[in-house]
Amino acid sequence: MPAFSRAATTSAPIEEVWKLLHDPSRFPEWWSGIETVRTDGPDAYTIWPSGYPDFPMAQHLHTEHGGGRVTISCLVSDLAYCWQLSDVGNGTRIEVEVEIPEVEAHRLETQKGLISASLQRLCELAAASASE
Amino acid sequence: MLRVWLVGQLAVEWDGEPEPLPSAERARALVGFLALHPGPQRRARVAAALWADMPEDAARASLRTALWSLRRAWGSHADTLLTVTRSDIGLAPQRLWVDAVDDDPGRGQLLPEVDDDWLVAEREVLHRRRLAKLDDDITAAEADGRLTEASRQARRRCELAPLDERAHRRLITLLTADGDRAGAAEAAGRFARLLRDELGVVPSAATRAAHAAARTGSLLPVRPQLFGRAAEVAALQEQWRMAANGSGRVVVLTGEAGIGKSSLVAELGHRVGGSGGRRAIGAGIDVGGETPFATWLELAGKLVRTVAIPGPAAGWPAELNRLSSTLGARLGRDGPPSAVAAPELERLRVFDSVLSLVEWSCSDRPLLIAVDDAHRTDAVSLRLTAHVGRRIAALPILMVLTRRDRPSNSAVDGLLADLIATRVPVTELDLAPIADVAVAAIVRRIAGPLIDAGLLNRVITAAEGNPLLAEETARSIAAGGVTAPNLRTAVRATVRGLPSPARDLLRLLAVAGRPLQPRETTALGIDGVEQAVDAAVESGLAVDGPDGLGFRHAMLREAVYADLDNTRTLHNRFVSALHGGDPAELAHHLALSGRSGEAAASWAAAAAHARSVGALAEAADFLQRATVLDPDNGHWWQELAEIHAWSGQRGDMATAFARALELLPRDELADAWCRQGRQLRTVVCNPNASIRAYRQAAQWLSRGSSTETQAAVLIGLAWGEAVDGDVGLVDDLLGRAQAFLPADPDDETLSDIGEIRLLRLIRQGRFDECGDAARDAATSATRALRPDRGFAIWLHGACAETCAGNLTAALDLADLAVESTKAIPVLLIGCLGARAHLLARLGRFGEAADCVAQQLTCAERTDEPRLVNTARHDAGLVALASGDYRTAAAMLQTALAGDFQASRPTASLACAEALALAGDVDAATAQLRSMTTEPVNRADQPWALVPRIARVQGLIAVAAGRTSLALKRFTEAEASWRRVLATVTQTNGEAYLANLVDLGRMPVLGLVEPERELSQLAEDIAGLAAGPTSIEAT
């Protein structure tokens, strides 16, 4: 199964990043490729990819029991994004692992680009939120 | 029912109407014979018994004549009452009652007009029943302190068995204890004359000692003489003095076997009794003594005999009946306690009721509790010992534990570490060998003062300061033996010198492994058992005391047992003497008798008892033994699966259940899956798995399935659909279930159905309709005497009313929940939590604080960290709501350090909020950060955490004086709440049930209410304009 990971550090405190990761309604602000989000329930929501207003993709969000790991899985394409946050004193380290099913392997390079951009944007948005 | 009276006067009654009797004496005798030999009897056997001196043909003819007389007398009823074939005759009714068998044995003679040989044995059986009944009555009266009544019954016992020396000795002792010294002396004198006239012998030493006690009026039991332990006795007395003054403490006596631990405990008990203190001394027994709570059954049994009966408001005496029905009964509370379905709660109930008994026992005088041989005590008794021990520091209680120094016992070590950690004063006394001069004193007392000096020195050398070994070696010498190299040899020499019945008795006592009551000793079937008892006691190996006849020391029992070469036969004989009682003990002896099938059944019965008192580890152990002995019994595998479920061992549960499915007959699989569905519905709380199990059950239903099973499957399916399936199917399933239920279902079923309907309403978010539904269902549960179900339904009703915003109605229901569980603290805890939150929501902070304080007290009595932390969590939230931020932060921080039944991230945020409102910016920031590492589940409602974090950030900013940042955060929180507002209102019912499934607790705090949060934020923002102090005041 194709997979890749990315990591970055932001000056924002961990709670700032946590809020952004747990609030699907704000995904379009930083997650490249997501245009619209509709919340369907406590841990379920639907996204519409950029440029595909007629292509809803149901998602599932949950936190690993150990804490600090947020997994977001796409119920349509089986892509899984696992985000891990850690407090590094004066900022937050963000790591993301992406697993892509074999049938979607052709999306690997696109996903690498999208997630790198998203990670960068997440860091910037969290830092901006933290400022007074 | 056919009722036959044979004692005194013959009479027969059929369905309440008297039946005429034949006039012929032989026909009347025939009635008696058939009544005492139920079921069809061979004609030849009856004829031979009733006409023993006739030839067979004549006897059979006489039987026909007697039968004809009987038929004439009973007329049209004869065919109903008699079974007559060419080969057999008998009394026909299955429901037969015979006074000599089924009633109190009374006083008259059995069939007095009949003088047949067959009656001799029957009359002997009745005689023994009368003796056993009198023994029981005497024991009960003595235990209740009704000594005059006990003496009266003992006198009657002596009349029935005039040469029974133990009976006379007991009478003398009872009369002495009752203050009738003249009566005791007169009874002793009369018995001595009887022995002299009838048998030409004198009373035994034990009886002479009882006579001497009557003359001196001594009521205290004879205690072992101590040598060389003056320092230890003084130390124990000092500990007792401090404890009696209200500074409760624990003393541990450690030493090798036979070093004198039990003797010291006995000495201390004697002195405590003499100084007016109360005492209860129990002993750990590990031979057939795996019964859960065995040690505390003994201790509690001794306490209830001497304490005053508590007032009617006290609920704990009835709760004691969970442990043993005789305990509550002695305190005036007959009948079983109400049921609690979860075994862990049963254990907590037992713990709390015993703790209450101990507290009551020391309320009028100081108390000594001693657990002798703690290393032999069953595991759950040790846990209860720790539970009680943790609370004695402020009570007038001295707890003494004795244990051997080798091998080390981690359970006892853990208990002591636990007590020390909870700051209970613990003193350890290591018993060293006694001095040679003390050993010499022991030897001279037994072997005589003129013992040869060389021999004395050899004994001193061999004993190595061990009093028990010194004593037994001295006995061996006194009996004509030589210096024994070890205890076993010495005991063997002593036993060898005893008459055969006494040797037999000691061997059976060794097999029994515990003291035997008089009735049990009699049932051993030893010829001349009274003389055997006397000989065993006089040998010094056995003692016949208030606890029964047993070995003077466990080492002596071990020595006798080690010498046995026919243990299987002896265990088998002992089984015959056991009547009812403890199934674990019976199973132990059956297994050692080689009776595997019966042993397996008894282990299963023992497991059922262990489960009923919440001793899950023991229950699993017993069932595993049953499955080893009889591996093909599917029922026991299913029982084992359920025990694993209660223990949280899901993998083992699945394995055992799979094995049960392989072994159970096909026509029992529907029931098996149905039970599994119930387990998954209740214990495991896995609605999806429960539905799957009930669907399996439905597949195995057949025409032969009972209507109860058919209804149970449909009701189980309805529950699953209500909680986590298609809620639209619930009514249809319940309607179909009704077709299999009687027109007027029992209250338990009604409460079950009512609760499912309530859950359906909750799932649908129809909270306004829940109050009435809860009242109906809970009322049925109350009528069914199921407070365990009733309280949950009341709380569901209260939580649903809270969700509907009807706080006053919710409080009414929470009050009913509290009222219904007042006598069951483990259930009361959750009810108090719900009530406290409601009071806080209504602004009644003082009452709320009292309520959570009571909740915390109840929880702390359980020693269950999860319950204690949940109470701290609840207390923290009430303190936060009332503006007591420091207390709130402290309570929540303590709770968060452990596990509790509430959302961890939400509690973490509440703690950060309290710290911020208390002005501690750094601590609040750190707490907020730690919240991000908490796992988040559905019940944590993550969408609500995002705006709450923003608000707490705002409060921290306020505390730091950063007003613009605070405004930014509050505004962010407000925007976030508005975004989720629409979604939340659609998912309330789901969130409610997620709370139940994920946290195992109803949403007693209420569900997230975005409007209320927005209102709070509006106040926060308004406060910014007024200055930071107004935030502190909200």
State the number of CA atoms in the 13 A half-sphere of B942 facing the CB: 26
Cβ–Cβ contact B931 with A under 8 A = yes
Minimal-distance CA residue of chain A relative to B944: A42
> Are B827 and B792 a contacting pair, CB within 8 Å?
no
Residues of B in contact with A88 (CB under 8 A): none
How many of the other CB atoms lie within 10 Å of CB of B978?
12
How many of the other CB atoms lie within 10 Å of CB of B979?
17
Give B893 to chain A, closest Cα distance, Å: 18
Take residue B76 and report the two structure tokens written for it: 């049209």
Which residue out of B927, B934, B943, B1007 would a mutagenesis test of the A interface target, given it has the greatest number of A Cβ atoms within 10 Å?
Answer: B943
Which residue out of A20, A27, A38, A43 would a mutagenesis test of the B interface target, given it has the greatest number of B Cβ atoms within 10 Å?
Answer: A43
Cβ–Cβ contact B990 with A under 8 A = yes
Minimal-distance CA residue of chain A relative to B935: A67
CB contact set of B876 (below 8 Å; sequence gap of 6+): B887, B888, B889, B890, B891, B892, B895, B907, B910, B911, B914
Minimal-distance CA residue of chain B relative to A64: B935
Q: Which residue has the tokens 């927005």?
A: B1014
Distance CA B911, CA B926 (A): 11
> Are B996 and B902 a contacting pair, CB within 8 Å?
no
Please indicate whether, in this complex, the C-beta atoms of B936 and A42 are within 8 angstroms of each other: no
Q: pLDDT band for B215, please (50, 70, 90 cuts).
A: low
Give A4 to chain B, closest Cα distance, Å: 24
Cβ–Cβ contact A89 with B under 8 A = no
Nearest to A15 among B936, B938, B953 (CB): B953
Please indicate whether, in this complex, the C-beta atoms of A15 and B949 are within 8 angstroms of each other: yes
> Are B80 and B92 a contacting pair, CB within 8 Å?
yes
> Are B933 and B939 a contacting pair, CB within 8 Å?
no
Could you read off the pLDDT of B595-651 as tens digits, one per residue?
A: 999 999 999 999 998 888 888 888 999 999 999 999 999 999 999 998 888 887 888
Percentage, residues of chain B above pLDDT 90: 44
Give B968 to chain A, closest Cα distance, Å: 8
Cβ–Cβ contact B852 with A under 8 A = no
Give A79 to chain B, closest Cα distance, Å: 21
In DSSP notation, B722-756 reads: HHHS-GGGHHHHHHHHHTTS-SS--HHHHHHHHHH
Q: pLDDT band for A29, please (50, 70, 90 cuts).
A: very high
CB contact set of B913 (below 8 Å; sequence gap of 6+): B880, B924, B951, B952, B955
Minimal-distance CA residue of chain B relative to A68: B933
Q: pLDDT band for B103, please (50, 70, 90 cuts).
A: confident
Distance CA B474, CA B742 (A): 75
**Amino acid (1-letter code) at residue A85:** L
Domain spans of chain A, in order of start:
3-130
Give B642 to chain A, closest Cα distance, Å: 27
Instruction: Give the pLDDT score at B323.
Output: 85
> Are B165 and B203 a contacting pair, CB within 8 Å?
yes
Please indicate whether, in this complex, the C-beta atoms of A42 and B990 are within 8 angstroms of each other: yes
Please indicate whether, in this complex, the C-beta atoms of B950 and A19 are within 8 angstroms of each other: yes
Give A129 to chain B, closest Cα distance, Å: 9
Which residue out of A14, A16, A23, A29 would a mutagenesis test of the B interface target, given it has the greatest number of B Cβ atoms within 10 Å?
Answer: A23
Nearest to B942 among A13, A14, A22 (CB): A22
Please indicate whether, in this complex, the C-beta atoms of A43 and B928 are within 8 angstroms of each other: no
Q: What's B321's DSSP letter?
A: G
**Conformation bin of residue A89: beta by default, left when phi > 0, alpha when psi is -120 to 50:** left
- Helix, strand, coil fractions of chain B, as percent rounded to 5: 65, 5, 25
Instruction: Give the pLDDT score at B136.
Output: 78
**Domain range A3-130, CATH architecture:** 2-Layer Sandwich (3.30)
Instruction: Give the pLDDT score at B376.
Output: 85
pLDDT at B72 over 80: yes
Residues of A in contact with B896 (CB under 8 A): none
Please indicate whether, in this complex, the C-beta atoms of A65 and B994 are within 8 angstroms of each other: no
pLDDT at B783 over 90: no
Mean of pLDDT over chain B: 87
pLDDT at B24 over 50: yes
Instruction: Give the pLDDT score at B530.
Output: 84
Please indicate whether, in this complex, the C-beta atoms of A41 and B953 are within 8 angstroms of each other: no
B506 vs B460, higher pLDDT:
B506
CB < 8 Å from B in window 5-64 of A: 13-15, 18-19, 22-23, 25, 39-43, 61-64
Distance CA B338, CA B561 (A): 43
Give B940 to chain A, closest Cα distance, Å: 9
Nearest to B946 among A23, A62, A64 (CB): A23
Give B907 to chain A, closest Cα distance, Å: 15
Instruction: Give the pLDDT score at B222.
Output: 47
Q: Which of A20-34, B276-290, B614-628, B813-827 has the lowest mean pLDDT?
A: B276-290
**Amino acid (1-letter code) at residue B849:** A
Q: State in Å, rounded, how far the first CA of chain B is from the last one.
A: 76
Q: pLDDT band for B1032, please (50, 70, 90 cuts).
A: very low
In DSSP notation, B207-262 reads: HHHHHHHHHHT--SPP-PPP-S-HHHHHHHHHHHHHHHTT--EEEEEEE-TTSSHH
Q: What's B288's DSSP letter?
A: S
Could you read off the pLDDT of B348-368 as tens digits, one per residue?
A: 888 999 999 999 999 999 999
Which residue out of A10, A16, A17, A19 would a mutagenesis test of the B interface target, given it has the greatest number of B Cβ atoms within 10 Å?
Answer: A19
Distance CA B34, CA B444 (A): 64
Minimal-distance CA residue of chain A relative to B929: A15
Q: Which of B235-239, B284-288, B922-926 has the lowest mean pLDDT?
A: B284-288
